[in-house]
Amino acid sequence: MTTIGIIGAGHIGTALATTLLDAGHDVVLSNSRGPETLAGVVAELAARDTARGSIRAATAEEAAAAGDLAVVTIPLKAYLDVPVAPLAGKVVIDTNNYYPQRDGAIAELDERRTTSAELLQRHLPESVVVKAFNHIQAAQIVDRRSPAGTASRRALAVAGDDDAAKARVAGLIDEIGFDVVDLGPLADSWRIEPGTPGYGAEDDAGQLRAHLAAARRGDAA
């Protein structure tokens, strides 16, 4: 059993909490407004018949400190607010996408000098960032789960600069119901950003690999 600290309790964060609880993991959920605002969400998730793990609300710093592994799922514009010290030495899953209309213009991304995942990695120099869950709708994280070996099982891409960290995240993704395709380092994570062929596509592993290979840097928003 693993404790997962989730920083961000929006649609993706709540969907991941649901699937992780069902898989028997303990979840510490946080948002920017304080743990007291999550009482209803936590009570609802804890009461689900399929939940085998435990869940509690906390501050972002507490969630980061408590997690054996962490998830950052907040608007990209707020990435500098992610607590640094409590995430040192930990694997951090980055679900974020860059939406200029929401996040404001970020020159490094607009000029394609880096990726959103690399920005988070730079902010968390003592953590290991793995990009995942950024190209699937939140509801589908819950609804499209299936056991390993299922024909045409939905696949999700991961990117990261540390093979052991990617393998750890891949194992977690498989456990909650999805196949995994390794697309390479964080520098290549643009291949599954908004505007690319694989973004939002309900692909199995073979289809996802083809979409990743077909992506062009100019496709990414």
Residues 7-38 have pLDDT tens digits of: 999 999 999 999 999 999 999 999 999 999 99
Looking at residue 221, its pLDDT comes to 59
Predicted TM-score of the model (pTM): 0.96
**pLDDT for residue 65 is more than 70:** yes
**pLDDT for residue 69 is more than 90:** yes
Over the stretch 79-100, which tens digit does the pLDDT of each residue have? 999 999 999 999 999 999 999 9
**pLDDT for residue 220 is more than 70:** no
Over the stretch 123-164, which tens digit does the pLDDT of each residue have? 999 999 999 999 999 999 999 999 999 999 999 999 999 999
120 has which bridge partners? none
Q: Alpha-carbon distance 18 to 55, whole Å?
A: 10
> Would you say 141 and 175 are in contact if contact means Cβ atoms under 8 Å apart?
no
At residue 180 the predicted structure's pLDDT band, cuts being 50, 70 and 90, is very high
Q: Alpha-carbon distance 205 to 102, whole Å?
A: 31
Which among 110, 104, 197 has a CA at the least distance from the CA of 157?
197
Burial of 149 (0-12, 13-18, 19+ CB in 10 A): exposed
Which among 16, 196, 36 has a CA at the least distance from the CA of 95?
16
Q: What is the DSSP string of 143-164?
A: HT---TT-TT--EEEEEES-HH
Sheet with strand 69-72: strands edge to edge: 55-57, 26-30, 3-7, 69-72, 91-94, 128-131, 155-160, 179-184
